[in-house]
Amino acid sequence: MNDNLKPSSKTLHAPNSNRKQGAAITPGPVFSSTFHTHGMPENAPYQYGRFHHPTWEHLESKLGELEGGETVIFPSGMGAIASVLTTILESGDTVIMPNDGYYPSRAYVEQFLIRYGIKMRLSATTDMANISFTDVKLVFIESPSNPMLDVCDISDICAKAHKAGALVAIDNTTATILGQNPLNLGADFSIASDTKALNGHSDMLFGHVASRHTDAINRIRDWRKLSGNIPGPMETWLVDRGLQTLDVRLERQVKNAHKIAEFLVSHTAVKSLRYPGLKDDPSHELASKQMTHFGFIVTFDLGGTEAADHFMANLKMITDATSFGGTHTIAERRKRWGTDDIPDGTIRLSAGIEHIDDILRDIDQALDKL
Ligand SMILES: *Cc1c(COP(=O)(O)O)cnc(C)c1O
């Protein structure tokens, strides 16, 4: 029934929703760890909460429709990323990771998978389409990359990787499934941290993986079951509630981000700025080709630690916090974590849904005092 719906409508209507007289429009979370199981367990649709859960199915079916592939949910984005890396890679395999993407993804390979004989090669996001994929098992990309918003040509990379016999996984967190459809662009795995814009209310962590490879997705589901990396019913239900407003939130956030970028790009205190929506941004052309919006993150350099720290301290409404994609506008001096190879004065700002006048006034007064 969902085939003809636009993606924004698919965030609301589950493919097999119960439309019988009196059925709940929003099926609530089921708080049960165990289920009536008479006789042979395979005759019961649910048996134990680590194997299957009715609350998971509702969200997984919706996300599956949006992604265009079977979807498995996780209690965090890293849970979803680890499920793909751990189930696909074997001893002797090589994985290519972005050296400018979300740091914990490559840290997981470094700290845990290399011990099992897996080899990692690093590449910048903008070089990904030009490197050799010979003898590579998995190419892991992130586009737009966090925090510098570089974009790579997803369908080109997928075509080249597949020709060389490699699989491609994409971290689609910054774009979200409404901003970019990785499986339609040729990727084997679409992964997201739903902690960010998909849930969008900065009140929980969550993640998911989608794929059209049935064997791989079954292995990922087995890994979830056997590693115990399972989401709770309350979080699952709340993420479904967040998903219902993803499209309207994005509309406001993307518009706000664009206006923030336009305001900052000509400001004398700003040394450089990245926003894929600006015509002369290096990501603009590719982003226009493969994305439906330019995102809600603006990354800019104030020229040094001192200026950036002062700017953050001067802000009155915008919150100094890590993460992004929520309803509140938040920002941080990204280098304070020490994990990204970026200028010291880099600010990563995530546009929220506040009135644009309030956001710009706050940024303006904070820059004025530098
Ligand atoms: C936050 C983030 C993750 C990790 O997600 P968690 O939900 O914090 O585990 C992965 N990738 C990107 C791009 C992120 O921003």
pLDDT at 348 over 70: yes
Q: What does residue 194 show for φ and ψ, rounded to 5 degrees?
A: -80, 0
What is the Å distance from ligand 1's center to 183 Cα?
A: 19
Burial 155-187 (b: 16+ CB within 10 A, else e): ebbbebbeeeebbbbbbbbbbbbbbbbbbebbb
Please list the residues that pair with 297 across neighbouring strands. 350
Identify the CA nearest to 347 among candidates 360, 335, 362: 335
| Res 26: pLDDT | 87
| Res 107: pLDDT | 97
Terminal Cα distance for the chain, rounded: 56
Pocket of ligand 1, candidates 73, 195, 337: which has the most ligand atoms within 8 Å of its Cβ, to mutate? 195
pLDDT at 17 over 90: no
Pocket of ligand 1, candidates 74, 78, 176: which has the most ligand atoms within 8 Å of its Cβ, to mutate? 78
pLDDT at 1 over 70: no
Identify the CA nearest to 7 among candidates 293, 330, 359: 293
Measured CA to CA, the distance from residue 62 to residue 178 in angstroms comes to 13
pLDDT, tens digit, for every residue of 54-109?
Answer: 999 999 999 999 999 999 999 999 999 999 999 999 999 999 999 999 999 999 99
* Burial group, residue 307, by CB count within 10 angstroms (0-12, 13-18, 19+): buried
For the range 332-340, what are the long-range contacts, defined as Cβ-Cβ under 8 Å and sequence gap of 24 or more? 333/305, 333/308, 333/309, 334/147, 334/299, 335/305, 335/308, 337/103, 339/103, 339/107, 340/100, 340/103, 340/147, 340/148
Measured CA to CA, the distance from residue 250 to residue 199 in angstroms comes to 11
pLDDT, tens digit, for every residue of 282-293?
Answer: 999 999 999 999
Residue with tokens 């990354």: 299
| Side-chain-facing half-sphere of 61: CA atoms under 13 Å | 15
Q: Rounded mean pLDDT of 323-342?
A: 96
Q: What does residue 158 show for φ and ψ, rounded to 5 degrees?
A: -65, -45
Measured CA to CA, the distance from residue 337 to residue 315 in angstroms comes to 20
pLDDT, tens digit, for every residue of 149-161?
Answer: 999 999 999 999 9
Pocket of ligand 1, candidates 196, 208, 330: which has the most ligand atoms within 8 Å of its Cβ, to mutate? 196
Q: Can you tell me whether residue 58 is helix, strand or coil?
A: helix
Q: Can you tell me whether residue 125 is helix, strand or coil?
A: helix
Number of other CB atoms surrounding residue 188 within 10 Å: 23
Measured CA to CA, the distance from residue 358 to residue 364 in angstroms comes to 10
Contacts of 285 (CB under 8 A, 6+ apart): none
pLDDT, tens digit, for every residue of 26-64?
Answer: 889 999 999 999 999 988 999 999 999 999 999 999 999
Ligand 1 touching residue 297 (CB < 6 A): no
Ligand 1 touching residue 207 (CB < 6 A): yes
Instruction: Say if CB 359 and CB 318 are below 8 A apart.
Output: yes
Q: Report the greatest alpha carbon distance in the chain.
A: 73
